[in-house]
Amino acid sequence: MTRRRAILFVADGHRDDFLRPELCPNLSGFAATGRRFHNHTGNFPSATRASAASIATGCWPGSHGLHGNTMGLPTDEGTVVHDVGDPAFVSSLRATFGRTLKVPTLAERLAPHGGVLIASNVSPGAAYFQDPDGYGHVVHRAGSFGPDRRPLGEEEAPVVTHDAAGDMALSAWFCDRMTRDAAPTLGVLWLCDPDLSMHADALGSARHLAGIAAADACFGKLRAAVDAMRASGDEVLLIACSDHGQETVIGHVAIGDELVAAGLKDSPTSCEVAVAPQGGSGLIYLAGEGQARRDAIAAFLVAHPHVGEVFIGRAMHTVGQAEGDGLAIAFSMAHDAHQNENGVPGRIWVCTSDSKPGKPVGQGSHGGLGRWERHPFLIAQGGGFVPGTHEFGRTRLIDIAPTILRHLGLPRDGMDGLALPRN
C-alpha cells in the first residue's frame, strides 16, 4: 500500500556557501534534482537548540518558548540562567511552567498518524526538544526514549560517538529502521558535523572540510535508503537542510561582568539582572529591582563597541523573540564581512560568561545576526516540488514543519511558518 512519508536530514552548522560539488557531491547532486532555496534564513539566536524547536513546531522561539542555547527561568529570587543542552533541562522547564514547549511538535501532531523517529547526534537539548513530551521515538547518546518517554535499551537504540564516525553509525541505523515495513511516517536524522568540526578549527580548514565530506557521505547513504522507500511504493518528501552556519570568532565580551562593573547588575551571581549568552548574541532577563534598569542597560548595550543590534521589549518580535517570563532585552554581537586566513568571510564577537567561555578566537561560532551564520541551506525533493528549480524568495526554518504536514495531508494550524513554494 502506498504511504506518504517524510524524511528530514539536518547537517548541523552547514553554511549554504559551502554546499559545492567539490566539497559535497551527494548534496550538490541532490540539489540538481530537487528545489534549491537560495535565501533560506536561520533563527535568532542562530543556535541549534531553539532552532531545533522551531523546526519541530513551525514557530519562532517567542511562540514555542525555548529562547536559545541558554535561557533564564524565574525563581523567587529572580532569574537563573540554565543550559538548555543539559538533559535535565526538560524537567526544569516543566517544573517551572507546568509544561515544556508552548505549542505542539511534529511528534505530537503525528502520534496518531504513523509516528516519528528522531535520531540526533547533537546536544541532548537539541534532540529532546524536538519531542520533549514523549510522543515518538528520540534516539540520542545521552539516553533514548520511546512514546511516553519510555527508556530504550541498547538493543533498541544505538549509543554512538559524538563525531563523524558516530554520525555514520547513526545514519546506517536510521536508514535500516526507516526502510522497514513498520517504519514511522516521519524520520529526522540530525548530524553533529560539520558544526562540530567548525567549532574545533578555523572555517575552511582541512578539519572543517573533512566534516563537510563526512556529513555528505551520510547523506549519500540516506538518499539510497529513500530511493528504496520510493521503489517500494512510498511517496517520500525528502528535505535536506542545516539549522545555521558559523562565522570566525574575533573576540569575547563578558557582558554580565561588564554590567556589574557599570553598576547595572548587583553581582556576578545576582538574579535581578541575568544575561544568557548565545555565542554571537545574548538575552537579558530582568526581575525585581532590575526591571527599573532596563533603559539604562539598553543604553549601555547600544553604546558598546562590540555589540550590534539591541531589541527592547516588543521590538524583540522583529527577530522572533517575545518579552515575558523575565525576558526584556535581546542583543546581537558585532560582526563584519572580513575573511579569515582561509578566505572564508564573516567574523563575529561572542558573548561569554564563566560557564559559557565561548570558542577560541579564530575558530567557528554562531548565535547572532551575521550574514553567513544565519544562512543555512535548504533543498526539497518529492512532495510536488519541481525538480531542478530554484527559489530566491526568503524562506525560514519555521517553514519546514508546515511543508511536511502539507505533504502528509494534515492540518498545519497554529504555526508561524508557511509551507514552502513548490514551483
pLDDT at residue 148 tops 80: yes
Helix (H) or strand (E) holding 174: helix 164-178
What's the pLDDT tens digit per position in 304-315? Answer: 999 999 999 999
pLDDT of residue 336: 98
C-beta separation of 106 from 59 below 8 A: no
Q: Which residue has the cell 500500500?
A: 1
Mean pLDDT of 328-344: 98
Whether the pLDDT of residue 1 is over 80: the answer is no
Query: How does pLDDT run across 268-296, given as a tens digit for each residue?
Result: 999 999 999 999 999 999 999 999 999 99
pLDDT tier, 185 (very low <50, low <70, confident <90, very high otherwise)? very high
Give the orientation angle of helix 400-408 with respect to helix 48-57, to 10 degrees: 30
pLDDT over 90 at 90, yes or no: yes
Instruction: Quote the percentage of the chain above a pLDDT of 70.
Output: 100
Residue whose C-alpha cell reads 511516553 in the numeric block: 148
pLDDT in tens, 226-252: 999 999 999 999 999 999 999 999 999
Percent of the chain residues past pLDDT 90, beyond the cut = 99
- SS3 state at 293: helix
Mean pLDDT, the chain, rounded, equals 97
Q: List, by residue range, all CATH 3.30.1360 domains of the chain.
A: 250-364
Mean pLDDT across 172-194 = 97
pLDDT by residue (tens digit) across 31-72?
999 999 999 999 999 999 999 999 999 999 999 999 999 999
From-to residues of CATH 3.40.720.10 in the chain: 4-66+101-245+374-408
Query: Are β-strands 395-396 and 273-277 bridged in parallel, bridged antiparallel, or unpaired?
Result: unpaired
pLDDT of residue 2: 81
**CATH 3.40.720.10 for domain 4-66+101-245+374-408:** yes
At 154 the pLDDT is 87
Question: Yes or no: is domain 250-364 CATH 3.90.1070?
Answer: no
Residues in the chain: 423
Give residue 208's pLDDT: 98
Reply yes or no on whether the pLDDT at 119 is more than 80: yes
User: pLDDT by residue (tens digit) across 364-401?
Assistant: 999 999 999 999 999 999 999 999 999 999 999 999 99
Burial 179-208 (b: 16+ CB within 10 A, else e): beeebbbbbbbbbbbbbbbbbebbbbbeeb
